[in-house]
Amino acid sequence: MKLLIALYFYILATIQLGLLLGVYHYYRSQNAVKPSSYWLGSLVISILALTTFGTGIVTIEDVARPEFNFTVSNTLFYIAATLQFLFCRSLVKPISNPIKYAFIASVFIFIPAFEWMRIYGTFEGRTAFMCIIASIFFIWQIIELKEKRRSAPSQQLIYLQYATTAELFFALSRIFVLLASGLTIRQVEQIPQLLILLTVTQLVMNTLSYIALGGYWSEKIAFANVRTESENQEIKSLLVERERLISNLLKANKTAATGALSASIAHELNQPLGASQLNIQFLQKKLSDGNLTAEQNQEVLTALLADNQRAANIIKSLRSIFSDEKTGVEEVDVKDLIQSVLQIAHSQVHAKNIQIVLRLTSTVLIKVSRSEVQQVILNLMNNAIEALSESDRPNKTLIMETRDVDDGIELIFSDNGNGVDPEVQPHLFELFNGSIKKTGMGLGLWLCQHIVTRHSGHIHYEDVPDGGARFTVFLPLAQD
């Protein structure tokens, strides 16, 4: 009889241990949703309680005066029930510290109370005492589960509520059997079989409640995975939209930056076109007079070719800036990019009496997007030209440098204008906040930083000691 009853407890302990191991290995791989420490702790304590109680039954001699290990096992059952109730409570609202301390204190009250009953009480009194305490916890759990289900319906919580209700029924039935039997039980063999059946069935329902809890967290993980997948799709679409927006901003900025040089571009094109027109008129007159010499013919044709090439170079520079092609990474000589932008800005620089100083000492080629780095140069050069236009200095100078450094090159743009207001400097590269122009929107420098960062480089600003502004751009030899 003892071995049979002990076997029931060992079997239930083994089932719960298997559930614990399965839960542990499953949830260890999950990051989105972690199991509650309350119900996992309750499951661990329940396994220890079943094992301790089963071992105690094997060695017990007098049911009325059991050994101390029965105090240990019943205390473990009490702690497991407490943790399971706290879990159900945590589904509705966070467990406050006063509640935690109250239940910890209740454990220290339970131990001496049950120990006194073990020594001076009866089997019937201890069994009724444990059934009453368990029933109180079951009723509280059912109330908390109903409240949780009203706000967040869950099939697994329904199963848990059914299992808890069944536990309550079997606990009350055990009290009824004890009252109805009227026996004084001192040996295991004297325990009514119906009472044993009800006890084992109650523990089976308790095991089913732990399984329902495991199912509840599996359900939460499934919902979390679906939500995560949906959020990932939203993030991907937002990233695509972000790239599209930045691409449009790049185009708009190129239009604005080059538009600021429109007078220079028109002047640059008018010069070779005007010269070509004069040469053509001269050629027509000589041909009509019939006195065109071979030397004059060659001189006029050479001039026409030179003017045509000059206009073609200006148009080529513009086309490279406004190209919509998906230009990938290629090896580029930054000196050539600076020269192409200078060719566009030459007349405006000359008209505003700005002296350009070139110190292009870099010798290496870097792997970058040609059009994007060209836009960085265009923006920084345009900012310097506008800053110098507003300056009262008699000798306006823009120094452009390139130099080789470890793992890349540096592009340095220095002017002797008025510099940047100290209040603006902390927000210089922020979108819509970092404009150094009175009429600017704070787009150009933000795009410069975006482009440079995308090329695994960096850009920073510093004041020139004698007055003015200096922007330094670092670009690595190859992108990460």
Q: What per-residue confidence (pLDDT) applies to 318? A: 57
Compute the average pLDDT of residues 198-212. 89
Please tell me the number of Cα atoms within 13 Å of 193 on its side-chain side.
Answer: 2
Q: What per-residue confidence (pLDDT) applies to 113? A: 93
pLDDT higher for 359 or 196?
359
Nearest to 171 by CA among 209, 123, 145, 206: 206
Compute the average pLDDT of residues 202-211. 89
Compute the average pLDDT of residues 432-460. 72
Q: What per-residue confidence (pLDDT) applies to 320? A: 56
Q: What is the mean pLDDT of the chain?
A: 82
pLDDT tens column, 174-193: 899 888 877 677 676 777 88
pLDDT over threshold 90, residue 410: yes
Compute the average pLDDT of residues 147-151. 86
Report percent pLDDT > 70 for the chain.
84
Average the pLDDT over each of 73-77, 78-82, 120-124, 127-131 and give the range with the smallest value: 120-124
Q: 349: how many CB neighbours lie within 10 A of its CB?
A: 21
Separation CA 472–CA 457 (nearest Å): 11
Separation CA 2–CA 204 (nearest Å): 19
Is the CB of residue 272 less than 8 Å from the CB of residue 311? yes
Q: What per-residue confidence (pLDDT) applies to 107? A: 93
Return all residues near 138 (Cβ < 8 A) that are at least 6 apart. 164, 165, 167, 168, 171
N-term to C-term CA, the chain: 74
Confidence of residue 441 (pLDDT cuts 50, 70, 90): very low
pLDDT tens column, 64-86: 778 888 899 999 999 999 999 99
pLDDT over threshold 60, residue 437: no
Compute the average pLDDT of residues 39-66. 85
Residue 323, token pair as written in the block: 């190209």
Model-level pTM? 0.51
Element (H, E) at 366: strand 366-369
Give me the helices (H) in 260-366, please. 262-289, 294-322, 334-351
Average the pLDDT over each of 62-66, 100-104, 146-150, 272-276 and give the range with the smallest value: 272-276
pLDDT tens column, 325-360: 545 688 889 998 898 888 777 777 877 889 999 999
pLDDT over threshold 70, residue 265: no
The hierarchical CATH code for the domain 2-235 is 1.20.1070
Average the pLDDT over each of 116-120, 201-205, 220-224, 301-305 and give the range with the smallest value: 220-224
pLDDT over threshold 60, residue 102: yes
Separation CA 287–CA 292 (nearest Å): 6
Q: What per-residue confidence (pLDDT) applies to 439? A: 43
Q: Where are the domains of the chain?
A: 2-235, 260-322
pLDDT higher for 434 or 443?
443
Gyration radius of the chain's alpha carbons: 43
Separation CA 453–CA 457 (nearest Å): 5
Confidence of residue 116 (pLDDT cuts 50, 70, 90): very high
pLDDT higher for 240 or 11?
11
